[in-house]
Structure 1
């Protein structure tokens, strides 16, 4: 059922179209506004920080849509409610005061929205505040300056607060700003890439966190901090040359990593690039990325019946939610509305929407240990395993699969017992003959070179696996050199397809091929010891892109104690484009594997790893 209060057929071609969407998304929440309150309660579930803070988060994240409207000369329909809620929430004498923050407090995250509000829309907002109310707001936000926070992208939240103070004339703390920038400098990896803290993943937080806030800073603080602003813009330009590969021609972005419920925040970087103007690409190219992305999202069932954004990815799905995903969390996607702060006369809005430029394929990103492949109607990514130190829900599924896809998404675990629950797509899973499965998680060694990704991982202390991932044309090839001191079962999966319509299945020794009227997903065993074919159906709501049960083509085998070589090739895409005869071949000699497809070849020396 589609919500009546969100215009899903909005063409999203013009500034007015996007302004209408922003207002509709905000107005869908307005029935939950309560008089004299500073929080919004949307649903009967919560996050680890509890319901009161979750409700404060819901209100605060709406400001990522409200602020661009105000900065662009507009005004949200319920402007007076937002003004009064901010006054109440920052007034220590009010019953609905947001309170004093503690170390690692979620409220510090939300303060960034108020920093941007004060920076670009202080005039229409503070015109409604008396001096005491302004002081209350300043005093409440000031708590972020020196509070203990996670050592990651959170450092930008106090920075944006200081930017807001600077622009609205409130006292600011230059040393706090310097301290937070200094902490983040150690995360910089080069070529525009950060990690999300020491030894942390390289995921969408690099785009919608570091660069999004960095670009905002580079525009708003250019007059007082020109050298840093120049550096932030240069890094963003370098990053853009890689990040453009994460977006398909239809606007979809590759689902990968945590916090996917923020949805169209995947394109927030491009809105910040348009806002800050580092000229990463022509305005029409950036405009096309933003608007196609939003149009793609409007085709997904991401709203509840009342038009409220759900928690989930392409559909409501609490199974994939993080511990910190509360009912209002998805409204961080409104960060992509930042382009509404630009006037109609800005180059972004004046430009004709342009398609994506021609991009090389495959495209390697060594700092992120990723390789992007632009197949016809299918964008996919090979990746190493990245360890998320916080061990958020389904970390292995979100970070450690071999491949992720705009077209086929990925499945999440529903349990470790039984292959159907263990999310076998794009994974090599192992069990000790007991049907409890484990796959790649922490990697002892990772490198990306010569168009390949190498990782060494130990699913048990006495089981070592060297894995090479490489694209050959539109095929994905995996080589696993495995040494085990245990008797094991193994299962390796290709990309998953929706099980509706039910795919036709061809299973012979060493290959499994699934075909629907539009799609094909196949996996072939290329190693000397053939594995048997199997079809696995996952539970409903396990794939992030479709709610139906997912059909996964598998290769399954047994491994005795010793050394083994497992090689597979997978393919997925338009069924009309599939050619089984184009499958790569593996030529194996003493310690050497040569992979050949047509006139392409790659040589691997098994005992010589990076």
Structure 2
């Protein structure tokens, strides 16, 4: 596929257009095809190690997260599917749910079978991507499925409507499944109760000014954008629920007012918090603001932020950027980088970056694609901005395009083993967290045995 030409008149900062986003989505989707199981139920990407959920669970992750990318690509093109993605994922939907298994491990059982949520809780995470993809593409995929296949898919999805097995952003996975079932007219009372329960539970973590804590602690990171705002606001938008949009949209607007200051002039998001391997998923919340109208950004500034992040991770030679020589997303940051990868991540985990393609839901004639790019906050002048709820300070300098985070009050899990992605006192868009053994940006006491005290909340 030829790469679209850069357009510096429309996009003076990045040169990128909607065509570049479509091209990148197609490249990522075509690159994973050789790793699909016989009937496309699992996408078993190569890697040095599986996640802690097992290889079968990782194969489901490969299916679900690339399916979400395909769904955004196809829905944004109003069903046009020149590469035939829908047929492959429809077959995988049928084969994966034909004989679900009580394990995330490979071995016995059909090679396409998905793990069941009752035994493999990672399947709850992936159910949200499966369901959101079905909701986005319902006219072109779900409505044409055989009734028996649809029933099997529903049976597999329904356990997600129970209470969340993890007390953090996971509550919104059930909400996302429920949103699809509501649209499809399936188990609507139960689905409605799931939505209400999830929203009420997560609301207790909202601290104002657009900031949630990701659970009952002081954990503030990119999950605010790509999960805690993403799921409820997108759910309200897709369901045309004005009441929910009026409640959660202004929170997104407030969050973006600060969040957009966390991107360097080179497009880099601040490498702070966990799951950094999701990379340009960091652009999801700004796109969502433009999609719903709840944003302080102009259309040109929104695209400049999103395209800048995409270019930062992909505009490097193969093997040194986000993708390897095979076109597969790697575990890491700008390139492969094991020190920031969590034990729950497997070879397909980076494809949560699919959320960064949310902008494709806006048509080519939308101002977010037609307006001339405008500068980011870091490019408009020096600034030092305090963020009240997370107790952080964002400092940026226009001369070098650098953003620095001074972390005065956020830590993920006090008392546990110190996490360098959360516990340091400073981060920047030009540096990454070092390993736990290297105490950069840390104040502590050196004890008699040589150990260094950890920071508190």
Larger Rg: 1
Structure 2: segments with no counterpart, 5+ residues: 7-13, 101-108
Instruction: Tell me if 1:323 matches 2:343.
Output: yes
Q: Give the match's secondary structure for 2:289.
A: helix
Query: Which whole-Å CA distance do the structure 1 matches of 2:281 and 2:447 have between them?
Result: 41
Aligned CA distance change for structure 1 residues 251 and 38 (closer, same or farther; 3 Å): same
Instruction: Tell me if 1:428 matches 2:428.
Output: no
Query: Which whole-Å CA distance do the structure 2 matches of 1:137 and 1:391 have between them?
Result: 41
Match of 2:406 among 357, 366, 382: 382
Q: Give the C-alpha shift of residue 355 in structure 1.
A: 1.2
Q: For residues 112-168 of structure 1, what are the alpha-carbon distances to aligned partners after superposition, in whole Å with 9 as ceiling and x for unaligned?
A: 112222222101112441111111112211110014421111111111111112223
Query: Which whole-Å CA distance do the structure 1 matches of 2:424 and 2:229 have between them?
Result: 26
- Report runs of 4+ in structure 1 exceeding 4 Å deviation: 5-12
Query: Which whole-Å CA distance do the structure 2 matches of 1:6 and 1:49 have between them?
Result: 38
Query: Which whole-Å CA distance do the structure 2 matches of 1:60 and 1:292 have between them?
Result: 26
Match of 1:122 among 110, 124, 138: 138
Aligned CA distance change for structure 1 residues 302 and 279 (closer, same or farther; 3 Å): closer
Query: Which whole-Å CA distance do the structure 1 matches of 2:20 and 2:179 have between them?
Result: 30
Query: Which whole-Å CA distance do the structure 2 matches of 1:104 and 1:235 have between them?
Result: 33
Q: For residues 364-400 of structure 1, what are the alpha-carbon distances to aligned partners after superposition, in whole Å with 9 as ceiling and x for unaligned?
A: 00211110111231211100253323988x7431111
Question: Where does residue 400 of structure 1 map in the other structure?
Answer: 423
Match of 1:308 among 318, 324, 328: 328
Question: Where does residue 455 of structure 1 map in the other structure?
Answer: none
More relative contact order, 1 or 2 (CA 8 Å, 6+ apart): 2
Q: Give the match's secondary structure for 2:383.
A: coil
1:9-158 matches, cutoff 5 A:
13-43=16-46, 44-73=48-77, 74-75=80-81, 77-79=83-85, 80-92=87-99, 95=110, 96-102=112-118, 105-158=121-174
Aligned CA distance change for structure 1 residues 39 and 9 (closer, same or farther; 3 Å): farther
Instruction: Tell me if 1:233 matches 2:245.
Output: no
Q: Give the match's secondary structure for 1:123.
A: coil
Larger strand fraction of residues: 1
Aligned CA distance change for structure 1 residues 148 and 232 (closer, same or farther; 3 Å): closer
Query: Which whole-Å CA distance do the structure 1 matches of 2:257 and 2:120 have between them?
Result: 34
Question: Where does residue 103 of structure 2 map in the other structure?
Answer: none
Larger helix fraction of residues: 2
Query: Which whole-Å CA distance do the structure 1 matches of 2:342 and 2:173 have between them?
Result: 20
Number of residues of Structure 1 aligned to a counterpart in Structure 2: 427
Aligned CA distance change for structure 1 residues 345 and 167 (closer, same or farther; 3 Å): farther
1:149-548 matches, cutoff 5 A:
149-172=165-188, 173-222=191-240, 225-300=241-316, 301-357=321-377, 358=380, 361-375=383-397, 376-377=399-400, 378-384=402-408, 386-389=410-413, 395-413=418-436, 422-434=437-449, 436-443=450-457
Question: Where does residue 105 of structure 2 map in the other structure?
Answer: none
TM-score, L = length of structure 2: 0.87
Q: Is the 8 A contact 2:312 2:334 kept in 1?
A: no
Q: Give the match's secondary structure for 1:29.
A: helix
Query: Which whole-Å CA distance do the structure 1 matches of 2:16 and 2:352 have between them?
Result: 22
TM-score, L = length of structure 1: 0.66
Aligned CA distance change for structure 1 residues 253 and 330 (closer, same or farther; 3 Å): same
Query: Which whole-Å CA distance do the structure 1 matches of 2:295 and 2:406 have between them?
Result: 29
Question: Where does residue 569 of structure 1 map in the other structure?
Answer: none
